[in-house]
Amino acid sequence: MQFQLEGDIASSEAHGNGNVNDTFLLFCENGDDLNRYTLQRINHEVFKNPEGLMDNFSRVTKHLQGKMADEKSERQCLCVIPAKDGRSFHRESNGNYWRVTKFVDGGRSFEVPENTKQAYEAAKAFGEFQSKLADLPGEPLIDTIPDFHNTRMRFESFRSSVDNDQANRGTEVTDLVEFAFGREDLSDKIKGENFPVRVVHNDTKLNNVLLHKTSGEGMCVVDLDTVMPGCALHDFGDLVRTAACSALEDEIDLEKVRFQPEVFGAIVEGYLESAGDMLEPSEIEHLALAPQVITYELGLRFLADYLDGDLYFKVKRPGHNLHRARAQFKLLSSMEEHFGEMKEIVRDCSSLKAFA
């Protein structure tokens, strides 16, 4: 093994359900101790600069560790295990990049929240993540994926996938394509350049935060590959997309896919509690719209990938990307129906905060 592990590897197993990287759990025996680590292969087709990515990763985790060391809380942060040569990654001769982090014990992740408290805790943890990184010293982090949340660019690349129809699937999805074209204006509603540039996570799915097994509190934000300069609203929106939905991201039965306004309320509350002081009024004003934009963006990305022949996201069954796209567009319709209510929730919650 190329990393500075404590003990000998006794076994390993595939872990988690990421759509891009490959993740494994390693069990190492060290005398009577069993040490666990998370081993990941960084998908270098997607992340073109894995070394720059790992430089971001190390800076971010070091900064968070420094802050958490002074606190008495259950909060944890990922911790990089260096390779034997001291670097934060190992590059194989075949060009694959690997990294190891300490396995975070005592947490659980959820695909769909079991109750509003979990959504509140997740939002609070992501808000805290952003606010703790607001004073990250040094040069700006590199863009691990340029234009990651440039919705206009996502729309244009969706349009070319429709035009090319590379996998001959266009005729199956005319309803979805029409739905997407009909909402093109969402592509320009949240442009990164109109908001403060912050260090943000960019992939704040509910399952990217571990909640403490017993207290239920937000414990550790994971999946730091897309932490880079960006817009806070995309983080907020992506958490709402995944946590305030009654079903899985790839649910086939669309009857089950509904936006949950009460969960949205819990997310607004948790997020404003930890990040509210840092946010500018323009950001708060867009909290109700951000989930629509990001849900639209993901719908475009899944549908484009379906039309391209499933080249980007991992698929576990035929039509997987199509199921994902359908579920996102169903969720978006449900959000549109609740938009008035969402604006009221944000208004009530932010004015309460202002007078607290």
Residue 144 burial (C-beta neighbours within 10 Å; 0-12, 13-18, 19+): buried
Counting contacts by CB under 6 A, is residue 20 touching ligand GN1?
Answer: yes
Binding mask 274-293 for ligand GN1 (x = CB under 6 A): --------------------
The answer to the question of residue 311 lying near ligand GN1 (CB under 6 A) is no
Residues numbered 51-70 forming contacts with Mg ion, rule: CB under 5 A: none
Q: Which amino acid is at 319?
A: G
Segment interacting with ligand GN1, rule: CB under 6 A, options 2-10, 12-20, 91-99, 166-174: 12-20
Q: Interface with ligand GN1 includes 153 (CB under 6 A)? A: no
Q: Which of residues 222-261 bind Mg ion (CB under 5 A)?
A: 223
Place of tokens 């595939």: 14
- Contact region with Mg ion (CB under 5 A), list: 32-40, 218-226, 234-242, 255-263: 218-226
**46 touching ligand GN1, by CB under 6 A:** yes
Q: What are phi and psi of 180, to 5 degrees?
A: -70, -45
Residue 44 C-beta: closest distance to ligand GN1, Å: 12
Rg over alpha carbons for the chain, rounded to the nearest Å, is 20
Q: How far is the CB of 281 from ligand GN1 (least distance, A)?
A: 27
Tell me how far, at minimum, the Cβ of 150 lies from Mg ion, in Å.
Answer: 17
Q: How many CB atoms lie within 10 A of CB 137?
A: 6
- Closer CB to ligand GN1, residue 45 or residue 70? 45
Q: Are 99 and 41 in contact (CB under 8 A)?
A: no
Question: Of 218 and 237, which has the nearer Cβ to ligand GN1?
Answer: 237
Distance of alpha carbon 244 from alpha carbon 249, whole angstroms = 11
CA 177, CA 155: separation in Å to the nearest integer? 11
Tokens of 343: 């604006």
Please, what is the minimum distance in Å from the beta carbon of residue 47 to ligand GN1? 7
297 near ligand GN1, rule: CB under 6 A: no
**CB of 207 vs ligand GN1, minimal distance in Å:** 8
Secondary structure E strands in the chain: 8-14, 22-30, 33-42, 80-81, 90-91, 97-102, 107-108, 198-200, 209-212, 218-221, 228-230
The yes or no reply on residue 226 touching ligand GN1 (CB under 6 A) is yes
Element containing residue 25 per DSSP (H, E)? strand 22-30
Q: Determine if 203 is a binding residue for Mg ion (CB under 5 A).
A: yes
Q: How many residues in the shown chain lie near ligand GN1 by CB under 6 A? A: 10
235 forms part of the interface with ligand GN1 (CB under 6 A): no
Taking the CB of residue 148, how many other CB atoms lie within 10 A of it? 17
For helices 174-181 and 151-164, angle between their N-to-C axes, nearest 10 degrees: 150
Please state, in angstroms and rounded to a whole number, the distance separating the CA atoms of residues 23 and 12: 10
Interaction with ligand GN1 in 176-215: which residues (CB under 6 A)?
203, 205
Binding mask 71-110 for ligand GN1 (x = CB under 6 A): ----------------------------------------
What interhelical angle do 290-308 and 320-337 show, nearest 10? 160
Q: Tell which residue, 258, 248, 272, has the closest CA to residue 336.
A: 258
Residues of this chain that interact with ligand GN1 (CB under 6 A) are 18-20, 46, 203, 205, 223, 226, 249, 298
Could you list the residues that contact Mg ion (CB under 5 A)? 203, 223
